[in-house]
Structures are given as C-alpha cells and as structure tokens.
Amino acid sequence: MAKRRLVAIALLMLGGCGIAYQSPKVNPLLDSGAKVRVLEITPESVMVANRSSYVPKQLPEVFFATAGVGGTPRGTGAVPEPVVDFQNKPGTLQTRVPPAVPETPYSIGVGDVLLLATPQTGNTVEQLTGLLAASNARQGYTVQDDGAIAIPNVGRVQVLGLTLEEAENRLFQRLVENQIDPTFSLEVAEFNSKKVSIGGAVGQPTVAPITLTPLYLDAALAAAGGITAEDLDYASVRIYRNGSLYQIPLRDLYSNSRLEKIQLIDGDAVFVDTSYELDLARAYFEEQIRLAEFKQNARIAALDELQAEVNIRNRTLTEARENYMTRLELNSVERDYVYLTGEVDNQTRYPLPFGQSATLADALYSNGGVPTETGNVSEIYVLRSSPDPREFGALTAWQLDGRNATNFLLSTRFELRPNDVIFVAEQPVTKWGRVISQITPSLITSAANAASR
C-alpha cells in the first residue's frame, strides 16, 4: 500500500513538473499576440542583419591628442658685418692649414626642413593631365628645438643627429606602427642647421649652409662673391675652427689646388684679411663666438620653455583621461550594451566597444563562450527589436546552429547592435536533470512520510 502511494505521488509530481521548473525559450508567439520572426544565421542573413545603421560611440578627443608643440626654432637675426681695420704690412706670411676632417654622411640638425612626399591619390584623368599639384602630396616639416618633427596622425618623430637613411627607417617604423601606408620619400628641403660664415675682403659677406655634399673652401668663397683683395702679397684667408686660428696666404691658395679643397665643417668662420696683424680677424672671430654663444643660450632657453609646455600639456591630457576613466567606472558615461542570458557562464551585459563594431563571437567569448554541458549549441539566438518603441512586436530572433562548428565563423561576422539580447537555450537533458534535482527532495520526503504510516 505504501509503495502504491509513493508511485502515485511521484507520478503526480512528474505530471506537475512544468510548474516545478520553468525554463526560458524562444517562443514564435508573444503573449501580446505579436509574432517573433526566427531567421537562421547564414552568410546571406548576416549581410541583411549588418545593414542596420549604427555609429559606435567614440572616445573623447583627449585620447587622441598629443602633447607636441608646434613652431619653428628661434633665431638671432643676420650675422653682423665685421669691422675693417688696416694694419702694417709684414715681410712674409706663414701657412697654417687646418687638419683634414673625415667625410661623413650629412646628419639632420635643428632648423632643417624635411620634405615628406607621399603617393598622390586621384582619378586617371587627373594623373595623366598633371592637374594634381606636387604640393598636395609634399609637406615640409621643420626639425624643432627638441630634435623632432611633428607629423599629423603619427606624432613627434626624433630625427636629430640621424642620417637621411636612418631618418627614413625610423619614419617607416612609426608609419607602420600607426597603420599608415609607409610609401613615402624623404629629403632635406632646407639646410639650416650647419653653416659656415664668410667675411672680410669678399664681394658679399654671407653665411653658407652645409648640405648633403661637403662644403670646400673655394665653394664657400665663391658663395660670398669671391675675394676682392687687390694686394695678394699681404692678403690671406684665415679659418677659425674650435678655438684655433689657421692662415692660408692668397698666393698659396691660388697656386695650390689642394688648399682650395679644404673641407669646411659646421661652425667654421672664414675671413679674408688684407693686413698682417690679427686684430681685425680676432675681432671678427670673437664676434662669431659671441654670436654662437648667444644662439646656443637662446636655443637652450627655448628648449626649456618647450619642455615645460609639453609637461603641462601631458599633465592636462593625463588628468582629463583619468577623469573620463573614473566616470566610466562609475557608469556615468553613456554606453551601448548587449545583454547575455540563458545558458552562459555569467548572465551579464557586454559593453559595445568605442570606435568600432563588435560581433556575436566577441560577446560570447568575452563571457567564457557557451557551456557545452548545459547549453544547446543548436539554439543560440540574437534577439533584436525595432528601434521604434511603437513597433515592439517587430522582433527578430537570429538563430545560430552551432552543431556544425563551421557556423561559428558566421558569429565572427554578425555585428551586434545596442540592446541586442543574446540567448542560449538549454539542452533537453539539462532541463530534465534540473527537474529531477527539484523533485528528488520531495520524493524522498514523501517516501519517508509514507513509510512511517
């Protein structure tokens, strides 16, 4: 009799298991009477689903700003003309030649202007007719006091002291790092960092730049309009270099071609003197030394000012970014979310990323994927309603059948939209197991009560 009662109780509880355990599922008919359209996720349906318009939210501009400071190097004006002072003529002049310098590739310095040429874009007609101006694809950048050039979308690139080839390699790496087409050419458009001053008995005192090709004494004198001294017996070319004074009589210079090919270096001062005493040359060189010191001090001050401004901008950008991240942690920033429910490791909401779209695979596998022991991989749904609240009944359930593992490739192409709901159904055996787990305690209690009677 007790066994019959126990069986009857068990049958009664099994018959009412629908009340004991309710599991969510996708019902083609809502309680409101509206229908749910279930569409299988296929390559064609993915294209249809991705057509819905969506603009991802963007990070504030402060995350894309850099602390670079524009501007050009500071100068001190033109070189003053030397004072002419005639002295007594000597008997003979001695020749003192500066030591030879090794020929090295040109190194980029502060004030140089680098020309960056990138491929032009345009239609075939424009390219054939030459309507695109070269300036559209050629941009000059001045090497600033901190030794860098500032390139839009790339940032500051340090080029001070590099050869042209080394600068191209460094710029190539920075373009690749920023995912920019690294097709370009680089050249020096203006040579402003290395100079030689020429004064005295010349046609026009000047400052000659040192370029990619070495600057020799004869070329420097020609750039100053040539020598105007009439008396060759007591005229000489004096070269001031690194604190030492060298002298070449004009007759020796004209009679020895090797002297004309003395290579000049940055900071040299060349003075054509028509007197024996060194007072005039010394005054000229002292003037050049003071001018160089003044320029150096001015550049140091400008560099300190530049560094201070960069530091201030860095602190401002860092503070703004930290404030935004704090607001993000406190959920005070408007975000777009997708919701995960059903048989997933953790029922939660997945924030859509800034600046780009997210896919079904991104959301699923950011949450541990689908538990294969309990989740029904044949019923993975993306529930999407119409953005119009008056059309709530217009609900589409995009179904991914994961029994064929190749279909998971489609999940990497299915783009999510704000307020999508990702639902994973449970396996039938999982539902049955949960029913048993709920009724087993009741069966044990009922059997115990029946046995006690």
Looking at the structure, do residues 87 and 202 belong to the same domain, yes or no?
Answer: yes
Looking at the structure, do residues 204 and 264 belong to the same domain, yes or no?
Answer: yes
Cα 84 from chain centroid?
55
The reported pLDDT for the residue numbered 225 is 92
Looking at the structure, do residues 351 and 242 belong to the same domain, yes or no?
Answer: no
Please indicate, yes or no, if residue 246 is contained in any of the structural domains: yes
Lowest-pLDDT choice from 128-132, 234-238, 414-418:
128-132
Report which of 224, 233, 251, 241 is spatially closest to residue 281, judged by C-alpha positions.
Answer: 241
pLDDT surpassing 80 at residue 358: yes
Task: Give the CA count within 13 Å in the CB-facing half-sphere of 391.
Answer: 8
- What whole-number distance in Å separates Cα of residue 237 and Cα of residue 253? 8
* Residue 299: domain span: 69-103+194-330
Q: State the pairing for strand pair 337-342/269-273.
A: unpaired
Looking at the structure, do residues 420 and 376 belong to the same domain, yes or no?
Answer: yes
Looking at the structure, do residues 352 and 314 belong to the same domain, yes or no?
Answer: no
> From the CB of residue 36, how many other CB atoms can be counted at a distance below 10 Å?
17
Reported as a pLDDT band with limits 50, 70 and 90, residue 33 is low
Q: Judge whether 147 and 155 are in contact, CB under 8 Å.
A: no
The reported pLDDT for the residue numbered 197 is 93
Burial label, 100 (beta-carbon count in 10 A; 0-12, 13-18, 19+): exposed
Q: What is the pTM of this model?
A: 0.45
Mean pLDDT of all residues in 245-274: 89
Domain end residue (candidates: 283, 309, 330):
330
Please indicate, yes or no, if residue 373 is contained in any of the structural domains: yes
Domain end residue (candidates: 174, 190, 206):
190
Which residues partner with 109 through β-bridges?
none
Looking at the structure, do residues 79 and 137 belong to the same domain, yes or no?
Answer: no
Which residues partner with 424 through β-bridges?
342, 380
Q: Per-residue pLDDT tens for 166-219?
A: 999 999 999 898 888 888 889 999 999 999 999 988 999 999 999 999 999 999
The reported pLDDT for the residue numbered 91 is 55
pLDDT surpassing 70 at residue 316: yes
Domain CATH for 134: 3.30.1950.10
Please indicate, yes or no, if residue 320 is contained in any of the structural domains: yes
Higher-confidence residue of 10 and 452: namely 452
Mean pLDDT of all residues in 137-150: 87
- What whole-number distance in Å separates Cα of residue 108 and Cα of residue 190? 11
Provide the H-helix boundaries in 192-260: 217-223, 250-255, 257-260
Higher-confidence residue of 275 and 242: namely 242
Looking at the structure, do residues 278 and 399 belong to the same domain, yes or no?
Answer: no
- What is the percent of the chain where pLDDT is above 70? 74
pLDDT surpassing 60 at residue 276: no
- What whole-number distance in Å separates Cα of residue 436 and Cα of residue 453? 25
Domain count, the chain: 3
- What whole-number distance in Å separates Cα of residue 405 and Cα of residue 399? 14
The reported pLDDT for the residue numbered 445 is 63
Reported as a pLDDT band with limits 50, 70 and 90, residue 273 is confident
